[in-house]
Chains A and B, each alone.
Chain A
Amino acid sequence: MSGPWCFMRAGGAVALEAVPDLPLDALRAAVVAAVGAGRRLGCWCGDGAGRVYAVLVDDAAGQLLVARAPLPDSYPALTPDCPQAHLFERELAEQYGVVPVGHPWFKPVRFHRRLTPGPDAWGRPDDEAVLPGVADMFTVAGDEVHEVAVGPVHAGVIEPGHFRFQCHGEVVFHLEINLGYQHRGIERAAIGGPHPRSMLQMEAAAGDSTIAHGWAHCQVVEALAGVAAEQPALDLRALMLELERLANHTGDLGALAGDTGFLPTASFNGRIRGDFLNLSAAVCGSRLGRGMLRPGGVRFGLDAARREDMRRRLERAGADAVHSCRLLFATASVQARFEDVGVVRPIDAAAAGLVGVARRACGHPADARRDHPADGRPGPAGPAATAEGGDVHARAFVRFAELQESLRLADGLLQRDAAATPPGALRCRPRPGHLAIGLIEGWRGPVLHLGITGDDGRFLRYKVVDPSFHNWFGLMLALRDEQISDFPLCNKSFNLSYCGFDL
């Protein structure tokens, strides 16, 4: 594509001067054109210094497209022409008071005051408390319609979020989800960094995606510093990423079984997930993989004996997982619950910019491991696992296929001699005035980190885009005209992160 873009790779950096600085109208047109040409809007965010940055992900070419523009107080909204920008634009308005005029669904995202001084995008008075989850929700008119309001406190120990269903009887006409109960401040904490704590904070951006977020952060810092981690460290990171995927996919499939009341797989997978988590612990001492990564390398290595032991354990747990999941997919009463439930049409999935498992379940084979490999070399062999239908079954099936693929990948990584290299990390000192992007395919989908350094070589802006940020909207679409009793199942089939959203 010829156009006003700076092209770069995931895990790359560019000097800020090299990023085209367009008028906003031109940037807007360029984004609309690029999305129209099949690219995905990966990020649309302000830098806190009066500019907006657009990052487009080109999966086909394995490239990232970056451009920026100065930000006025208001501008014609992107969303009408590019629906996948809707949440980014709301976020931008909430953070910097920039009003996207003509946004069809203009509401707060995380229910906080703007980050920089200035007028509120919604004109809310300063002395008025901003109640989380309270916004003008879409309502279906008619006094026969009832609303079901679930959350922020849920039946079960999960994170806060408010789900509002517009229902008649068992049928859901519309679901709207309001998150933003946890004001975690992770992005803000990174400003002025990288601090010694930044790595730990990024690992906790979404606790179940420690490795994906940690690695993306490492990519940003390494790229800004202009260093590259060595191959053995990359192998170990890849191993940890696959272990994370194995544990979570196993857990999700078990939870899906549990939501249909199918006890065997629910019970088995709970145990097997623990086996995979213990493998992570065998590498770095943390079942969630905390503390394994650091910019420039990894903190722990694997000796041959341990690798051999892990291979054996992986094989056993893997065989159990495959067996247990086959039982799930072979049980007719479960399949009856999975099929044609929670359907997201492929056209909607593409328009809404869904990513990861949810996107592949609609037949789009996007996988950052393949399209944007971490060290520049080709990712896993063969095409990404996809499924047709966009229903719960498709999302479960994609997970099962990926689980099996991850078993092979992890086994292959454990066989590499290089993995035995002792740990170490290169020193990373970010260069001033640069922009770097990390993009890692976590188990849920692509995790995108974007870091911009100021003149002092410290972070001017750090942006984290969890796949959940894109995919919560998919859950809303999946519930249209669905039975409300199938909501927990649909929800579990996406299994999105609240904290990954409430950054």
Chain B
Amino acid sequence: MDAPLLLEAAGRALAHLAVLTLLPPLLIGLIAKVKAAFAGRNGPPLLQPYFDLAKLLRKQAVFSRTTTWVFRLGPVAAVVTALLAGLVVPLGGLAAPVSFDGDLLLVAYLLALGRFCTILSALDTGSAFEGMGASREAAFSCLAEPALFLGFIALALLLPPGGGLRLAELLAAAPDGWRLAAGGMALVAAAWLVVLLVENCRIPFDDPNTHLELTMIHEVMVLDHSGPPLGLILYGAAVKFAVIAMLLLSLVLPRGGGLVADLATGVAGLLAVAVLVGVVESSMARLRLLRVPTLLVSAALLAGFGVVLLAVH
């Protein structure tokens, strides 16, 4: 590879890394801002999540005497797995820094690893609240898995038989999908939007703003975390939001521009997803917890129909 190309690739990788590591808290801030706008409030500053992180990193951490090293492993795993998963997910035209055969499985399973560790971390407190959140998290993300994979399957059907199975190739086939069976792609995108909402515990699945222990999922799992570990968890959650949003965006974003154009569309796309989530949260009530599985199964069915539509073509 000659030098300019190498430089270009390095630039893209750096841009991707920068977006992945620096942008996520802004998305959370943007969602809050959109919700505030709908409610006719000013809302917290856009950069509030960054301020919160800076504050938490400086605060004292209090550890429950019941907990063990497992409790401290959770926050570390949450951040590390989300970041590593992000490394293999392209953002529109910005190729992922790492790409290899079967890397899409790694995305799903790294998130599962993060989940496993945060669940254990929650159970380590010996509290009914954290247990409740952990149980919900385990149940709901387990049902979100088929929707995610059916989306992968739908995209894989667009690729010729044989050959590799890289996430980059898979997502690059999305434009063909829209051309061949726009309906199928729309269903997949809808299913992945549900995955985005449920994996990140947003309305209608969970209300990150209610502070009632009994109804929450993610927030109640981290009830006993404080200080820097809590900061890690919040940051990891923001990165996870960005990673799944990047997956979703790769279905719809145009690509193939220059580095700057790709970076701009990628960032704009992420911000648009945040606005969309804010609008969804502002306009509907959250579901009864018992109804959540039904919606998740419907999402999987949507993706299943998407597979059928794409398979026909």
Residue ranges of A at the interface with B (Cβ–Cβ < 8 Å): 146-150, 155-156, 167, 169-170, 257-264, 266-267, 271, 331, 333-334, 336-337, 341, 483-488
- Among candidates B35, B203, B290, residue contacting A483 with C-beta atoms closer than 8 Å: B290
In chain B, positions 265-313 with a C-beta closer than 8 Å to chain A are 281-291
- Among candidates B203, B210, B284, residue contacting A259 with C-beta atoms closer than 8 Å: B210
In the complex the two chains form, is B214's CB within 8 Å of A333's CB? no
Residue ranges of B at the interface with A (Cβ–Cβ < 8 Å): 35, 38-41, 128-129, 131-132, 135, 203-204, 207, 209-215, 281-291
| 5 A-B pairs closest in CB distance | A267-B39, A261-B286, A260-B285, A262-B285, A261-B207
How far is it, in angstroms, between the C-alpha of A485 and the C-alpha of B288 when the chains are bound? Answer: 8
Min CB distance, A201 to chain B, in Å? 32
- Among candidates A146, A264, A487, residue contacting B128 with C-beta atoms closer than 8 Å: A146
Q: Could you say which residues of chain B place their CB within 8 Å of the CB of A156?
A: 211-212
In the complex the two chains form, is A485's CB within 8 Å of B283's CB? no
How far is it, in angstroms, between the C-alpha of A232 and the C-alpha of B138 when the chains are bound? Answer: 63
- Among candidates A146, A262, A263, residue contacting B131 with C-beta atoms closer than 8 Å: A146
- Among candidates B135, B211, B214, B285, residue contacting A150 with C-beta atoms closer than 8 Å: B214
In the complex the two chains form, is B286's CB within 8 Å of A484's CB? no
In the complex the two chains form, is A261's CB within 8 Å of B281's CB? yes
In the complex the two chains form, is B288's CB within 8 Å of A261's CB? no
In the complex the two chains form, is B215's CB within 8 Å of A488's CB? yes
Min CB distance, A154 to chain B, in Å? 9
Q: Could you say which residues of chain A place their CB within 8 Å of the CB of B41?
A: 267
Min CB distance, B198 to chain A, in Å? 14
- Among candidates A262, A271, A341, residue contacting B284 with C-beta atoms closer than 8 Å: A262
Q: Could you say which residues of chain B place their CB within 8 Å of the CB of A336?
A: 285, 287-288, 291
Min CB distance, B287 to chain A, in Å? 7
Q: Could you say which residues of chain A place their CB within 8 Å of the CB of B131?
A: 146
Q: Could you say which residues of chain A place their CB within 8 Å of the CB of B288?
A: 336-337, 341, 483, 485-486
26 pairs, CB–CB < 8 Å, chain A vs chain B:
A148-B129, A155-B211, A155-B213, A156-B211, A170-B135, A170-B289, A259-B212, A260-B286, A261-B209, A261-B210, A261-B285, A263-B38, A263-B281, A264-B38, A264-B39, A267-B38, A267-B39, A267-B40, A333-B287, A336-B288, A336-B291, A483-B289, A486-B215, A486-B289, A488-B212, A488-B214
| Nearest residue, chain A, Cβ from B207 | A261
| Nearest residue, chain B, Cβ from A339 | B288
In the complex the two chains form, is A170's CB within 8 Å of B290's CB? yes
Q: Could you say which residues of chain B place their CB within 8 Å of the CB of A484?
A: 132, 214
In the complex the two chains form, is A263's CB within 8 Å of B282's CB? yes
Q: Could you say which residues of chain A place their CB within 8 Å of the CB of B132?
A: 148, 170, 484
| Nearest residue, chain B, Cβ from A260 | B285
Interface of B is mostly: loop
Q: Could you say which residues of chain B place their CB within 8 Å of the CB of A150?
A: 213-214
| Nearest residue, chain A, Cβ from B40 | A267
Q: Could you say which residues of chain A place their CB within 8 Å of the CB of B213?
A: 150, 155
Known contacts: A170-B290, A261-B203, A263-B35. The answer to whether A488 contacts B210 by CB under 8 A is yes
Q: Could you say which residues of chain A place their CB within 8 Å of the CB of B38?
A: 263-264, 267
Q: Could you say which residues of chain A place their CB within 8 Å of the CB of B287?
A: 333, 336-337
Known contacts: A155-B211, A170-B290, A483-B289. The answer to whether A261 contacts B35 by CB under 8 A is no
Q: Could you say which residues of chain A place their CB within 8 Å of the CB of B285?
A: 257, 260-262, 331, 333-334, 336-337
Known contacts: A148-B214, A156-B212. The answer to whether A333 contacts B204 by CB under 8 A is yes
In the complex the two chains form, is B284's CB within 8 Å of A331's CB? yes
How far is it, in angstroms, between the C-alpha of A484 and the C-alpha of B136 when the chains are bound? Answer: 12
Min CB distance, A257 to chain B, in Å? 8
Q: Could you say which residues of chain A place their CB within 8 Å of the CB of B128?
A: 146-149, 167
Min CB distance, A2 to chain B, in Å? 51
How far is it, in angstroms, between the C-alpha of A262 and the C-alpha of B128 when the chains are bound? Answer: 27
In the complex the two chains form, is A487's CB within 8 Å of B210's CB? no
- Beyond the given pairs A259-B212, A484-B132, A488-B215, 16 more chain A to chain B contacts, judged by CB atoms under 8 angstroms and listed by A's residue number, are A147-B128, A149-B128, A155-B212, A169-B135, A261-B203, A261-B286, A262-B284, A263-B35, A263-B39, A264-B38, A333-B285, A336-B285, A341-B288, A483-B288, A483-B289, A487-B215
How far is it, in angstroms, between the C-alpha of A105 and the C-alpha of B290 when the chains are bound? Answer: 32
Min CB distance, B30 to chain A, in Å? 16
Q: Could you say which residues of chain A place their CB within 8 Å of the CB of B212?
A: 155-156, 259, 488
Min CB distance, B199 to chain A, in Å? 18
How far is it, in angstroms, between the C-alpha of A337 and the C-alpha of B135 when the chains are bound? Answer: 21
Min CB distance, A421 to chain B, in Å? 40
- Among candidates A267, A271, A485, residue contacting B215 with C-beta atoms closer than 8 Å: A485
Q: Could you say which residues of chain B place their CB within 8 Å of the CB of A486?
A: 215, 288-289
How far is it, in angstroms, between the C-alpha of A259 and the C-alpha of B131 when the chains are bound? Answer: 21
How far is it, in angstroms, between the C-alpha of A439 and the C-alpha of B234 when the chains are bound? Answer: 52
Point out which of B131, B282, B284, B285 has the most chain A C-beta atoms below 10 A from its C-beta. B285
Q: Could you say which residues of chain B place their CB within 8 Å of the CB of A167?
A: 128
Q: Could you say which residues of chain A place their CB within 8 Å of the CB of B281?
A: 261, 263
Known contacts: A147-B128, A148-B132. The answer to whether A485 contacts B284 by CB under 8 A is no
How far is it, in angstroms, between the C-alpha of A484 and the C-alpha of B39 when the chains are bound? Answer: 28
How far is it, in angstroms, between the C-alpha of A333 and the C-alpha of B132 when the chains are bound? Answer: 24
Q: Could you say which residues of chain A place their CB within 8 Å of the CB of B135?
A: 169-170
How far is it, in angstroms, between the C-alpha of A264 and the C-alpha of B35 when the chains are bound? Answer: 10
- Among candidates B203, B211, B214, residue contacting A485 with C-beta atoms closer than 8 Å: B214
How far is it, in angstroms, between the C-alpha of A483 and the C-alpha of B35 when the chains are bound? Answer: 28
| Nearest residue, chain B, Cβ from A257 | B285
Q: Could you say which residues of chain A place their CB within 8 Å of the CB of B203?
A: 261
How far is it, in angstroms, between the C-alpha of A99 and the C-alpha of B6 when the chains are bound? Answer: 88
Min CB distance, B125 to chain A, in Å? 14
Q: Could you say which residues of chain B place their CB within 8 Å of the CB of A485?
A: 214-215, 288-289
Q: Could you say which residues of chain B place their CB within 8 Å of the CB of A257?
A: 285
Min CB distance, A179 to chain B, in Å? 18
How far is it, in angstroms, between the C-alpha of A436 and the C-alpha of B291 when the chains are bound? Answer: 52
Min CB distance, A45 to chain B, in Å? 34
Known contacts: A146-B128, A148-B128, A331-B285. The answer to whether A261 contacts B214 by CB under 8 A is no
